[in-house]
């Protein structure tokens, strides 16, 4: 992996717009170009990791696409503990393996990347 370390930040509810899919595609493109890439779920974006979310509303399940990112070399999938708690999502139930950050450590996490692209 070469080039800048890209952090893709998803703040949008995955069920409410195509932004989750488009964020995934940006991360996938970075990995395809052999760039370093990580993904941070913020705010309503943590809904991506709620188990059974897509099937409950009859929507296409975005999880397989995000799981594929992990297999293609995504360095980190991170979420914020407070965002999970505010939405009633238990750490133990996350649908994908993720690093759980405290909100207080977010600035340092962001600063460890070269570019951030927010969705």
Partner 1 sequence: MVFSLIVLNAPWQGQAAQSAYRCAQALLAAGHALRQVFFYGDGALALVPGVTAADQPDLDRAWRELATRHGIPILACTTAAERRGIPVDGSAGGAARPGTLGQLMLALGDSERVLTFAD
**Which residues here bind partner 1, judged by CB under 8 A?**
3-4, 6, 18-19, 22, 25-26, 29-30, 32-33, 35, 115-119
What are the tokens at 66? Answer: 């995000």
Query: Would you say 18 or 105 has its CB closer to partner 1?
Result: 18
Sheet holding 115-118, edge to edge: 99-101, 77-80, 35-41, 2-10, 115-118
Of 6 and 74, the one with the shorter C-beta distance to partner 1 is: 6
Q: How far is the CB of 26 from partner 1 (least distance, A)?
A: 6
Q: Are 2 and 9 in contact (CB under 8 A)?
A: no
DSSP letter, residue 72: T
Q: Which helix (H) or strand (E) holds 21?
A: helix 19-32
Pick 26 or 81: Cβ nearer partner 1: 26
Instruction: Find the length of the chain.
Output: 119
Nearer Cβ to partner 1 (93/114): 114
Contacts of 16 (CB under 8 A, 6+ apart): 44
| Least distance from partner 1 to the Cβ atom of residue 55, Å | 22
CB 31 → partner 1: shortest distance, Å? 10
Nearest distance, CB of residue 22 and partner 1, angstroms: 5
């Amino acid at each position: 992996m070469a080039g800048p370390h890209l952090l893709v930040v998803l703040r949008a509810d995955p069920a409410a717009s195509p932004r989750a899919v488009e964020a995934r595609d940006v991360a996938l493109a970075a990995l395809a170009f052999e760039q370093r890439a990580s993904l941070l779920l913020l705010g309503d974006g943590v809904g991506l990791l709620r188990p059974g979310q897509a099937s409950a509303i009859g929507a296409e399940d975005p999880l397989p696409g995000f799981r594929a990112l992990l297999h293609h070399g995504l360095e980190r999938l991170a979420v914020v503990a407070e965002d999970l708690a505010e939405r009633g999502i238990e750490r133990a139930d996350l649908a994908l393996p993720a690093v759980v950050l405290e909100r207080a450590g977010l600035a340092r996490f962001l600063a460890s990347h070269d570019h951030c692209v927010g969705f």
